Amino acid sequence: MGEFDLISRLTARAGARADIALGIGDDAALLQVPPGEQLVACCDTLNEGVHFLAGTDAGDISWKSLAVNLSDLAAMGARPAWTLLSLSLPRADRELVDGFIEGFHALASQAEAALVGGDTTSGPLSICVTALGLVPPGRALRRDGAQVGDLVCVSGTLGDAAAALNRARAGAPVDSAAARALQSRMRRPTPRLALGLALRGVAHAAIDVSDGLLADLGHIARASAVGLRLEAAALPASEALRALFPAEDCLRFQAIGGDDYELAFTLPPQRLELLRALGADLGVEISVIGQVVAGDGVRLEAPDGAAIDFGCTGWEHFTGSPP
């Protein structure tokens, strides 16, 4: 299979939108941003051996490469519109390519995000996705809006993907419903797009949990010039996580494991009822995990009020200490 065959197979599943004046097949795509909308743009790469283990299913890789970008759009309260895909493959064999296209398309079609361009090249396995979305001016969820007195909340459960990675590295078998549940969270995370849209005008600040809860909430604290106080006992955990790991490991995965792609956000306490209703409507579990205080930094507290310190707050490339 050559480069142009690969491109034509990608193009066949690119998806359609009325706002695409010219899609794949020219030097660049021509896109119509609707009047009254701002463009929201982000770009993230996944590399083999860094972001996913060698031997990971091609469909899972491509799903995740799109999911991590859609998660960034969700964290801005943006609606996805278009994507560009830059795909480096060591070889273009049909099975790999078709698996890759399946995973990407499965999530893209759910999210109504059309593929409008990119490139394919030979090289070490690596996927760079650019996601472009739309949000009305002034309605985006940002990191710098948290206010003292806000509640700190998070969607879903935390730590599942980090726990799955821990098991995979240790060679633990995926031989139970709980192990499969964790693995699925690592391989095909769900970007919280509907929740992001629902949080427009409700949340004061938001971020997605990718590097680790403490690291990511640290960005909100810095950008908003506030402190965050979190209760360790309030961090949501899945039944699968609790079934497979002792409490101490669970907390570590939840607090600094990252790779969750849940939304962490702050909002005034008087909107909690509204939030509960939104969560129920969307079928998304919402947990209140702490509050915004005067000061700086993120403090994770045990039930006795003692600060819990893991020595790092999450993943950082180059100096990074994955849990």
Q: Does 177 sit near its own copies (CB under 8 A)?
A: no
Q: Does 126 sit near its own copies (CB under 8 A)?
A: yes
Query: Minimum CB separation from its own copies for residue 243, in Å?
Result: 32
Among 103, 108, 113, 120, binds its own copies (CB under 8 A): 120
Question: What are the distances in angstroms from CA 225 to CA 36, 85, 251?
Answer: 30, 36, 26
- Pull the structure tokens for residue 123: 């090289």
Q: 5-34: which residues touch its own copies (CB under 8 A)?
A: 6, 21-22, 25-33
Q: 223-282: which residues touch its own copies (CB under 8 A)?
A: 223
- Pull the structure tokens for residue 259: 């790779």
* Residue carrying the six token digits 């197979």: 9
Query: Minimum CB separation from its own copies for residue 245, in Å?
Result: 27
> For residue 2, with 0-12 CB atoms within 10 Å meaning exposed, 13-18 middle and 19 or more buried, which class applies?
exposed
Q: Please name the helix (run of DSSP H) or strand (run of DSSP E) that holds residue 293, with its range, or none.
A: strand 286-293
DSSP state of 238: -
Question: What are the distances in angstroms from CA 200 to CA 151, 208, 209, 257?
Answer: 16, 15, 18, 27
Task: Yes or no: say if 45 and 72 are a contact pair by the CB < 8 Å rule.
Answer: no
Query: Minimum CB separation from its own copies for residue 223, in Å?
Result: 7
Among 112, 239, 309, 316, binds its own copies (CB under 8 A): 316
Stretch that binds its own copies, among 122-130, 150-158, 234-242, 282-290 (CB under 8 A): 122-130
Q: 295-314: which residues touch its own copies (CB under 8 A)?
A: none
Q: Does 55 sit near its own copies (CB under 8 A)?
A: no
Query: Minimum CB separation from its own copies for residue 23, in Å?
Result: 10
User: Cα(314)–Cα(323) distance, rounded to whole angstroms?
Assistant: 7
Task: Yes or no: say if 24 and 115 are a contact pair by the CB < 8 Å rule.
Answer: yes
Question: What are the distances in angstroms from CA 276 to CA 195, 199, 204?
Answer: 12, 11, 16
Residue 184, classed as helix, strand or coil, is: helix
Among 41, 202, 288, 312, binds its own copies (CB under 8 A): 41
Q: 185-224: which residues touch its own copies (CB under 8 A)?
A: 206-208, 223
Q: 132-161: which residues touch its own copies (CB under 8 A)?
A: 132-133, 135, 137, 140, 142-144
Q: Does 117 sit near its own copies (CB under 8 A)?
A: yes
* C-beta of 238 vs 266, nearer to its own copies: 266
Query: Minimum CB separation from its own copies for residue 176, in Å?
Result: 32
Query: Minimum CB separation from its own copies for residue 38, in Å?
Result: 5
User: Cα(228)–Cα(150) distance, rounded to whole angstroms?
Assistant: 9
The strand pair at 286-293 and 151-155 is best described as: antiparallel
* CA neighbor of 232 nearest in space, from 313, 306, 156, 131: 306
Stretch that binds its own copies, among 57-65, 74-82, 99-107, 242-250 (CB under 8 A): 74-82
- Pull the structure tokens for residue 168: 């995979």
Query: Minimum CB separation from its own copies for residue 58, in Å?
Result: 15
Q: Does 45 sit near its own copies (CB under 8 A)?
A: yes
Q: 83-112: which residues touch its own copies (CB under 8 A)?
A: 84-86, 88-89, 91-92
Among 35, 171, 283, 311, binds its own copies (CB under 8 A): 35
Binding residues for its own copies, total number by CB under 8 A: 72
Task: Yes or no: say if 286 and 279 are a contact pair by the CB < 8 Å rule.
Answer: yes
